[in-house]
Amino acid sequence: MTAVVEARGLGRTLALEPPVLLVADASFSIMAGSFTSIIGPSGCGKSSLLYLLGLLDRPTQGQLLVDGQDVTGLGGDARARIRLERFGFVFQFHFLLPELTALENVMLPMRRLGRLGNAAVRERAMSLLGDLALGEKVDRLPGQLSGGERQRVAIARALANDPAVILADEPTGSLDSVNSERVLATLHQLAREQARAVICVTHDSSIAASADTCIRMLDGRVVAMG
Ligand SMILES: Nc1ncnc2c1ncn2[C@@H]1O[C@H](COP(=O)(O)OP(=O)(O)OP(=O)(O)O)[C@@H](O)[C@H]1O
Ligand SMILES: [Mg+2]
């Protein structure tokens, strides 16, 4: 089986004076259907690693493979395309567009990809929001939703283009325990029932404990995996 994402000695150092090491020498494979957590103290490089894996940032060292293809040297357009087609992102703060409704926010990535016509885009967005128990609230603006509801809209948006990989950076960081549980259950379901690879940066020990694989980082390096 081909890994959906593979890091080979992946790293990023900022060319400042003195240089700042964000991530060094990360090597691992992420398989479809797996739930991986990335843990470690604040400032150890978790978000930086996630940005490298999601092609939001460029490595200065090593290689990144997506679906077995080396994407390290690809140009900006090709990288943006892979990001749109293969990755869904969920952050601690939802980053929904405030002037668009829940439905419009979820439709946006599909419009950008341009694979589906208008009616199909709308139908898929409705169905994703319905799956996340938001069917009654599709016409609300983000400001008219609770924190947990907004985070579920963000998950629906992340799923819009049917990504193979969900990258989440402290997705429950701004939620209470009930909503954290819901979001966590949803992420697990995406891995287990839909064979997506979920990679989740977290400070939450219960999320880390529930993962198939846990990547522990310290000072930019992966110090343990298991
Ligand atoms: N542009 C930058 N210039 C200098 N240092 C930076 C820059 N971006 C990140 N860093 C540093 O790189 C390190 C890794 O940052 P990163 O955001 O990946 O940490 P993190 O593990 O996600 O932390 P947290 O748990 O607080 O979110 C930190 O020490 C941070 O201060
Ligand atoms: Mg972070």
**12-22 average pLDDT score:** 96
Provide Rg for the chain, Cα atoms: 17
**Which ligand approaches the C-alpha of residue 51 most closely?**
1
**104-123 average pLDDT score:** 96
Tell me whether residue 196 is in a domain. yes
**Owning domain of residue 211:** 5-96+159-225
Tell me whether residue 194 is in a domain. yes
Which pLDDT belongs to residue 157? 96
CATH of the domain at 34: 3.40.50.300
Tell me whether residue 139 is in a domain. no
Q: Is the CB of 45 under 6 A from ligand 1?
A: yes
What spacing in Å lies between the alpha carbon of 128 and ligand 2's midpoint?
A: 27
Closest residue by CA, ligand 1 atom 10: 22
**146-155 average pLDDT score:** 91
- Per-residue pLDDT reduced to its tens digit, 59-80: 999 999 999 999 999 999 999 9
Q: Is the CB of 17 under 6 A from ligand 1?
A: no
Tell me whether residue 147 is in a domain. no
Q: What is the DSSP string of 29-85?
A: EE-TT-EEEEE-STTSSHHHHHHHHTTSS--SEEEEEETTEE-TT--HHHHHHHHHH
Which pLDDT belongs to residue 164? 96
Tell me whether residue 181 is in a domain. yes
**Which ligand approaches the C-alpha of residue 45 most closely?**
1
Looking at the predicted structure, is the pLDDT value of residue 94 above 80?
no
What spacing in Å lies between the alpha carbon of 136 and ligand 2's midpoint?
A: 33
**92-99 average pLDDT score:** 88
Which pLDDT belongs to residue 81? 95
What spacing in Å lies between the alpha carbon of 217 and ligand 2's midpoint?
A: 12
Query: What's the pTM value of the predicted model, to 2 decimals?
Result: 0.93
| Token reading at 222 | 């992966």
Q: Is the CB of 186 under 6 A from ligand 1?
A: no
- Per-residue pLDDT reduced to its tens digit, 25-58: 999 999 999 999 999 999 999 999 999 999 999 9
Q: What percent of the chain has pLDDT over 90?
A: 84
Closest residue by CA, ligand 1 atom 22: 47
Rounded Cα distance between 214 and 28, Å, is 11
Which pLDDT belongs to residue 93? 79
Q: Is the CB of 54 under 6 A from ligand 1?
A: no
Which pLDDT belongs to residue 79? 97
Which pLDDT belongs to residue 178? 84
Tell me whether residue 77 is in a domain. yes
Task: Give the chain's mean pLDDT.
Answer: 94
